[in-house]
């Protein structure tokens, strides 16, 4: 069995029951868009806390644009460059309010201030259920460690390569599976290579086992 089949089977077996690819309602898609903007250049726990604090006060575009800018900045301060993000959130909220809904295609999404390839892919997949692969830090790190993509590959190339490797109807499980696996096993610091199911063929894992743990796989 080849590497990509082993990876896919493992992700389906371990995380399949946790993954629901059903479409969200339009309001949830807006919240997802804002959460993704908050996640830029910060850790997951910080962006998640910022989103909870913001949505406890304002959840709709109309509610958000009514917030005093200092109040908005205070709510999302933990998310990193909060002044820049507050400006983006206000501008995006105004556009969405004018349009009536979040755009359901990547081209239109990427016209929104502060929305790039990763953010648009996340919204399309998790918000609208459209198959794509959103290359976040987990997807990039794991695909490189496993040797699925070149080490110098940038997110656009990683997205294209992974979408060519795996069937379109499996992109969702690959994407979310890598994210969950990255939080559980393939950590940025101190990855748990000893218990990893891929350590027999993962170049990075084999290196860690040999030189850190003096183990030969």
CA distance 172 to 132: 7
CA distance 133 to 159: 6
For the chain, what are the domain ranges? 3-17+135-211, 26-128
128 in Cβ contact with 104 (< 8 Å): yes
Rg (CA), the chain: 19
Would you identify the CATH topology of the domain 3-17+135-211? Answer: Endonuclease Iii, domain 2 (1.10.1670)
**Maximum CA extent, the chain:** 60
Predicted model pTM: 0.83
34 in Cβ contact with 48 (< 8 Å): no
44-82: pLDDT as tens digits: 899 999 999 999 999 999 999 999 999 999 999 999 999
135-194: pLDDT as tens digits: 999 999 999 999 999 999 999 999 999 999 999 999 989 998 999 999 999 999 999 999
85 in Cβ contact with 39 (< 8 Å): no
Would you identify the CATH topology of the domain 26-128? Answer: Endonuclease III; domain 1 (1.10.340)
């Amino acid at each position: 069995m080849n590497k990509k089949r082993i990876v896919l089977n493992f992700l389906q077996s371990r995380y399949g029951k946790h993954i629901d690819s059903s479409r969200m309602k339009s309001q949830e898609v807006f919240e997802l868009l804002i959460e993704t903007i908050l996640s830029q250049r910060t850790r997951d726990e910080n962006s998640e806390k910022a989103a909870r604090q913001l949505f406890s006060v304002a959840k709709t575009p109309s509610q958000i644009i009514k917030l005093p800018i200092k109040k908005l900045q205070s709510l999302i301060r933990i998310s990193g460059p909060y002044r820049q993000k507050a400006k983006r959130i206000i501008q995006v909220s105004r556009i969405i309010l004018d349009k009536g809904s979040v755009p359901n295609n990547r081209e239109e999404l990427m016209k929104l201030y502060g929305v790039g390839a990763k953010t648009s892919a996340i919204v399309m997949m998790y918000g609208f259920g459209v198959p794509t692969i959103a290359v976040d830090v987990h997807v990039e790190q794991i695909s490189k460690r496993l040797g699925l993509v070149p080490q110098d590959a940038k997110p656009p190339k990683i997205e294209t390569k992974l979408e060519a490797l795996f069937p379109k109807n499996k992109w969702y499980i690959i994407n979310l599976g890598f994210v969950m696996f990255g939080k559980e096993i393939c950590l940025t610091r101190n990855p748990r290579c000893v218990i990893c199911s891929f350590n027999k063929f993962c170049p990075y894992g084999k290196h860690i086992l040999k030189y850190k743990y003096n183990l030969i796989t």
